Amino acid sequence: MDISVVVPLYNEAESLPDLEAWIERVMRDNNFSYEIIFVDDGSTDNSWQVIEQLSAKNPCVKGVSFRRNYGKSPALNTGFRRAQGDVVITMDADLQDSPDEIPELYRMITVDGYDVVSGWKQKRYDPLSKTIPTKLFNATARKVSGIKNLHDFNCGLKAYRSDVVHHIEVYGDMHRYIPYLAKNAGFSRIGEKVVQHQARKYGKSKFGLDRFVHGYLDLITLWFTNKFGGRPMHFFGLWGSLMFIIGFIAAIVVGSLKLYHLYSGGDYSLVTDSPYFFIALAMMILGTQLFLAGFIGELIARNSTRRNDYEIRRELNIDSPHA
């Protein structure tokens, strides 16, 4: 099969017939073999009934329905696990992503050799309250991820080589960072294509400004787990040791000054009267806690079943693996 189109949706019953007809026309005009996987993320309208009607008319239409609303990332991950096409394309169900972009996205994967191609909605039909935070968010994501050539991490229209979606796990709200997840999994050929952004035809957006707050937190989580997930002691142990040493030295200085004033006959006070004593004590306690957090993290990582789960690109003259 050439293409799997994965479409997560929530309460988009009105737009689904138009979207299916548009995708079907593009596939027919380009002689693609394809499937459309609609993932109904717990819709409360009649979206699932519409999907059933479309599937009865077009056997290439497939569907998955969640019992409740889980979010876009679980919906995409579920679609990825069921995709059978050589190229997997994701798009939103609100008709703001154009299926006319599919042939060029497919070509960039199969001919140009990209692992991931992300859409860039260079001209957006969104209010400034969304476009300005989006620009700031994308600038931060480029800096942290190191993927300098992507301008729109949030664009739902993306294309993937099938190997990519079968070697990553999308969870939480990590759908914004699938290119980053792919890069961390070893798929480094990541490209971008300017795509058309259309005004919403039906309904209203399901995302609010809180997605930017969640997006930054998820970005920090992804950066940290990628850098220190397999060796937490390198982070917690380092900073814990530094804090403990600084606190210990400060405590010695406070005690030494007390002894100096005591034996020199000068004025002196209790060490507990000095704020530096409590600062030193707090740093020693925090340093110990950070060190222990790193130690516990190492124990967890050591006992993880995926501690040696490395992605192997290819093998040569290997008959059978040995433990």
Q: How far apart are the C-alpha atoms of 246 and 243, rounded to whole Å? A: 5
3-state DSSP call for residue 220? Answer: helix
Query: Which pLDDT score, from 0 to 100, does residue 308 have?
Result: 45
The reply to whether 274 and 196 lie within a common domain is: no
Residues 166 and 259 in one domain: no
Task: Report the pLDDT value the prediction gives residue 295, as an integer from 0 to 100.
Answer: 83
Q: What is the DSSP string of 246-298?
A: HHHHHHHHHHHHHHHHHHTT-----GGG-HHHHHHHHHHHHHHHHHHHHHHHH
Tell me whether residue 193 is in a domain. yes
Q: Are residues 188 and 269 in the same domain?
A: no
Domain extent, residue 211, equals 3-228
Query: For residue 63, what is the domain's CATH number?
Result: 3.90.550.10
Q: Per residue of the chain (323 residues), give pLDDT as tens.
A: 999 999 999 999 999 999 999 999 999 999 999 999 999 999 999 999 999 999 999 999 999 999 999 989 999 999 999 999 999 999 999 998 999 999 999 999 999 999 999 999 877 666 656 667 778 888 888 988 889 889 988 889 999 999 999 999 888 788 888 999 999 888 999 999 999 877 666 666 555 556 556 676 777 777 777 776 667 787 788 888 999 999 999 888 888 887 877 777 766 677 777 788 888 999 999 999 988 888 887 777 666 555 445 454 555 545 544 44
Tell me, what DSSP letter sits at residue 193? E
Q: How crowded is the C-beta side of 138, counted as CA atoms within 13 Å?
A: 19
200 and 264 in a common domain: no
CA distance 157 to 193: 10
Judge whether 100 and 72 are in contact, CB under 8 Å: no
Task: State whether 93 and 166 are in the same domain.
Answer: yes
Are residues 216 and 140 in contact, defined by beta-carbon separation less than 8 angstroms? Answer: yes
Domain boundary among 213, 228, 243: 228
Task: Let me know: does 109 contact 160? Beta carbons within 8 Å.
Answer: yes
pLDDT, residue 310, reads 47
Q: How far is residue 294's CA from residue 288's CA, in Å, rounded to a whole number?
A: 10
83 neighbors 182 (Cβ within 8 angstroms): no
Length of the chain in residues, anyone?
323
Is pTM beyond 0.75 here? Answer: no
Report the number of distinct structural domains present in the chain: 2
- 209 CB burial (10 A radius; 0-12, 13-18, 19+): exposed
Owner of token pair 């059933």: 52
Residues forming a β-bridge with 38? 7, 63
* pLDDT of res. 23: 97
Residue 280: both structure tokens together = 């030193």
Same domain, 176 and 272: no
Q: In one letter, which amino acid is 129? A: S
Q: Which of 228, 258, 282 is the last residue of a domain?
A: 228
Residues 111 and 206 in one domain: yes
Taking the CA atoms of 321, 168, 118 and 184 in sequence, report the sign of the dihedral they define.
negative
Residue 59 shares a structural domain with residue 155: yes
In order of 26, 34, 80, 92, 200, the CA distances from 59 in angstroms are: 16, 10, 19, 21, 27
Question: DSSP per residue over 224-248, as a string?
Answer: HHHHHTT-THHHHHHHHHHHHHHHH
Alpha carbon 221 to its chain's center: 9
**H helix runs in the chain, sequence order:** 16-29, 47-57, 72-82, 102-110, 128-145, 162-165, 178-184, 210-228, 233-263, 275-302
| C-alpha closest to that of 207 among 215, 199, 195 | 215
Helices 102-110 + 16-29 axis angle, to 10:
50
